[in-house]
Amino acid sequence: MFVGLRRVLVCRTVFGNPPPLLNFFVHRRVLHEYLRGEGRLMREQWHVLREAIDLLEQSSLVINEREYTFKRFYNEFIDRRFAEPFLKALVRLTDVKREAACLQAATAREIVAVVL
């Protein structure tokens, strides 16, 4: 279903212009570090991660010859499947401050496994 999504998702914007290459590689690297749970992000990396997510919000992708804005794709394929279980697990945490980031990263990795 999502064949080629990785390339389309990170390269195509609503306006049809890919982000500048230098920023593209920096954003992609930080986004991948976050999704893989490879240690803690530094303050500067959190800023880059927010920029990457903002770029994704402006992106669009094509699935089975149908174009979706990233927001619509997220709502239809991600939020419906993962939001409720994430919130239920979040409520059950005993030490939210300590455990929430791990839960968030684990959920992000589940999403990546399904999408890619």
- Residue 68 and residue 106: Cα distance in Å, rounded? 25
**pLDDT cut 90: percent of the chain above it:** 19
pTM: 0.50
Q: Where does residue 78 rank: exposed (0-12), middle (13-18), buried (19+ CB within 10 A)?
A: middle
Contact of 74 with 85, CB cutoff 8 Å: no
pLDDT tens sequence across 70-79: 888 888 888 8
Angle, helices 96-115/80-92, rounded to nearest 10 degrees = 160
Domain that includes residue 35, residue range: 5-115
Q: How many domains does the chain have?
A: 1
* Residues pairing with 62 in the sheet: 67
Among the residue ranges 50-54, 78-82, 111-115, the one predicted with the least confidence is: 111-115
